[in-house]
Amino acid sequence: MEKSFSSKIGVLLAAAGSAVGLGSIWKFPYVVGENGGGAFIIVYIVCSLIFGLPLIMNEFLIGKLSGRSAYSAYREVSGTNRWQWMSWINLLCVLVIMSFYFVVTGWCVYYMVEAASNAFAGMDARALEAHFDAFEGRAPVMLVYAVIAIVMTASVLWFDVNKGIERLSKILMPLLFMILVLMAIHMAFLDGGSVGLRYLFAPDFSKITSKVILEAMGLSFFTLSVGMGILVTYGGYMPKDQNVTTTSAQMIVLVLIVSLLAGMIVFPAVFAYGFTPSQGPELTFVTLPAVFQHMFSPMLTCTVFFGLMCVAAITSTISLMEVMVAFVCDATAGTRHPLNRHQSVVVIAVIQIVTNALCILSMTGNADWLSVMGRNLFDFANILVTNILIPVGALGAALFTGWFVPKTRYQGSRVSSFLYLIVLRWLVPVAIGIIFLDSINVI
């Protein structure tokens, strides 16, 4: 990330580019499938529009006011140390996300390589599932690909070539978008695909419980990269005259469209080819190759698609790691062991190799002791982030602006508006509070 963005569109593309990632294409479909479809999506959209917008604006503004990373922004804006815990929650959240995000980025790289060697040719649904299961049982292979993803990301930061990657992604991300649109159209006309679309868009409200609402909210914030201090850092790089409201709204629309497109591709395929919606994290990886088998030049399209998915994933991992690097540099500055950028990159890469290895060992069944509350570490990390760390981060950020920061700090910006304060003061904290407490059975 540069110190400041030269153009307004630059901020949008950077924020949206990092936001649009595996969350929309991989996590969204499988979580929707686990939570029963249409009704869940409505809650997801409502959360994105009602809470997402003020929360994104809020984080951008905290960053814009302080010009700092998440480590010192809260202190800088409030003038006290009392909000330092927020920085640590944000850091922990990013750390845990990276512990499974690289695993899945590794899957994308592996699937690209497999597609290029035509490994999926002629495979039906059962065979594709078996293919993934076999892969999931091979911890060393999975680890190699996760390490490849980590090293690629770390190299970009080490050699400072983010600019080049950003320029590249400005061409490749729209290409990914176009392919998604074409695939969604293709799927809409598929025999048996309409059942999937009905599953996606016809709500069955009996499926809604407080846990489902919490999941939907967490997933919405995850795909928008809200509640983890990321956008605070982006806000710090914004040109002074950038319109925060417009940028935030555009970001939400982009993320929503990509997530829904992913759903419109995956679910018709689930029903047409005989997969199970609640299959879990492998859903995207088993259904998409099945879709490609029935499209123009399966090997080529499949390779290009997973290649572009790698780009989407890597632009996100670069931002995630960049935020951690900025944080570590900031936090160690002035201590007895200050770390410079290069040292921070190495430290974080090593930590990530360890945490990803633990997740992989745990999910491949190679280490049964590596489980928390009956779940493997990969699933546990996902749940921890979506259901606890992100809601707490978002709640904290709303309370911070709503109640703690003197209103005069926001003079001249939109935050001073009545509506914005009511939303951040009351609506967001009360709603998140109720959803949160209700789902852990406190109320």
Residues that bind ligand TRP (CB under 6 A): 18-19, 21-24, 97, 222-223, 225, 228, 230, 316, 319-320
Residue closest to ligand TRP when measured from CB atoms: 23
Taking the least distance from each CB to ligand TRP, the nearer of 302 and 312 is 312
Q: How far is the CB of 8 from ligand TRP (least distance, A)?
A: 20
What the block records as the tokens of 131 is 């293919």
Q: Return the structure tokens found at 96.
A: 């845990």
What angle, rounded to 10 degrees, do the helices at 244-272 and 38-46 form? 170
Nearest-Å Rg of the Cα atoms of the chain is 21
Q: How would you label 400-409 residue by residue, b for 16+ Cβ within 10 Å and e otherwise? A: bbbeebeeeb
* Tokens encoding 331: 């936090």
28 contacts 274 by C-beta, under 8 angstroms: no
> Smaller CB distance to ligand TRP: residue 97 or 395?
97
Give least dist CB 313 to ligand TRP, A. Answer: 7
When the beta carbons of 293 and 319 are compared against ligand TRP, the nearer one is 319
Burial of 425 (0-12, 13-18, 19+ CB in 10 A): middle
Distance of closest approach, residue 309 Cβ to ligand TRP, in angstroms: 11
Helix then strand then coil, in percent of the chain rounded to 5, is 80, 0, 20
Q: Which is nearer to ligand TRP, 184 or 262 (CB)?
A: 262
Residue 42 CB neighbours (<10 A): 15
Specify the residue, 87 or 293, whose C-beta has the smaller distance to ligand TRP: 87
Nearer to ligand TRP, 49 or 123 (CB): 49
Q: Min. distance of Cβ 248 from ligand TRP in angstroms?
A: 14
Q: Could you tell me the smallest distance in angstroms from the CB atom of residue 385 to ligand TRP?
A: 8
Q: Which is nearer to ligand TRP, 200 or 226 (CB)?
A: 226
CB of 203 to ligand TRP, least distance (A): 23
Q: Give 7: exposed, middle or buried? Use CB within 10 Å, 0-12, 13-18, 19+.
A: exposed
Would you tell me the crossing angle of helices 53-66 and 210-224 to the nearest 10 degrees? 40
Which lies closer to ligand TRP via its Cβ, residue 254 or residue 405?
Answer: 254
Question: For residues 182-197, b (16+ Cβ closer than 10 Å) or e, as one string?
Answer: ebbebbeebeebeebb
Taking the CB of residue 250, how many other CB atoms lie within 10 A of it? 16
For ligand TRP, the closer of residues 222 and 237 by Cβ is 222
DSSP string, 67-82: -S-HHHHHHHHHSSST
> Rounded to an integer, what distance in angstroms lies between the CA atom of residue 381 and that of residue 207?
24
CB of 229 to ligand TRP, least distance (A): 9
1 or 43: CB nearest ligand TRP:
1
SS3 281: coil
In the complex, least distance from residue 76 CB atom to ligand TRP, rounded to whole angstroms: 21
- Cβ neighbors of 135 (< 8 A, separation 6 or more) are 107, 110, 141, 142
* Spatial separation of the C-alpha atoms in residues 358 and 178, rounded to whole Å: 36
Phi, psi at 372, each rounded to 5°: -125, 130
User: What minimum distance in Å lies between the beta carbon of 326 and ligand TRP?
Assistant: 12
User: In whole angstroms, how close is the CB of 218 to ligand TRP at the nearest point?
Assistant: 11
Provide the minimum distance between the beta carbon of 20 and ligand TRP in the complex, in angstroms, as a whole number.
Answer: 6
**What is the full DSSP assignment across 408-434?**
GGGTTSGGGSHHHHHIIIIIHHHHHHH
CA distance linking residue 416 with residue 87, whole number of Å: 24
Question: Which of 18, 247 has the CB closer to ligand TRP?
Answer: 18
